[in-house]
């Protein structure tokens, strides 16, 4: 559970979430908006206009990222991250194909870490 491989994956995932969470909070877009077109542009624009959705997502990503980096409550952090990862994957699969590679990496890291901590989750399925 605490192998070097798992620690590296956990820290990489945590740093990525921390970066994305901070970018949501400060409104920094590391990708230019003009690359979004059609439904993707409309959805992102509406979420930005609401004001609170992206901030809540940013706070969750920072919280989960810090838990992963610090190694505290990692199974809980992964439990919170799983539905977010699936939603990010579906968003990029159906609306924003160029971002699909990053979404696949995110979901792969999440589920590899869930697999590594499966002993903790096993009682949930009995």
pLDDT at position 21, please? Answer: 87
Structural domain that includes position 76: 4-125
pLDDT exceeds 60 at position 74 = yes
Mean pLDDT of the region 83-108: 87
Cβ atoms 105, 73 nearer than 8 A: no
Whether this prediction's pTM lies above 0.85 is answered by no
pLDDT digits (tens, 9 = 90+) for 112-125: 999 999 999 998 88
Query: Residue 101 and residue 33: Cα distance in Å, rounded?
Result: 19
Q: Helices 74-94 and 53-70 sit at what angle, rounded to 10 degrees?
A: 130
Tokens found for residue 72: 């505290």
Please give the tally of structural domains in the chain.
1
- Could you tell me the sign of the dihedral formed by the alpha carbons of 83, 98, 113, 9, in that order? negative
């Amino acid at each position: 559970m605490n192998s070097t491989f798992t620690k590296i994956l956990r820290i990489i995932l945590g740093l990525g979430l921390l970066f994305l969470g901070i970018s949501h909070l400060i409104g920094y877009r590391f990708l230019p908006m003009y690359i979004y077109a059609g439904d993707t542009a409309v959805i992102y624009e509406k979420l930005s206009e609401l004001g609170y959705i992206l901030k809540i997502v940013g706070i969750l990503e920072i919280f989960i990222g810090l838990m992963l980096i610090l190694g505290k409550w990692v199974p809980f952090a992964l439990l919170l991250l799983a539905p977010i990862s699936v939603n990010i994957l579906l968003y990029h699969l159906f609306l924003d194909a160029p971002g699909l590679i990053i979404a696949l990496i995110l979901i792969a890291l999440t589920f590899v870490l869930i697999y590594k901590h499966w002993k903790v989750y096993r009682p949930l399925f009995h």
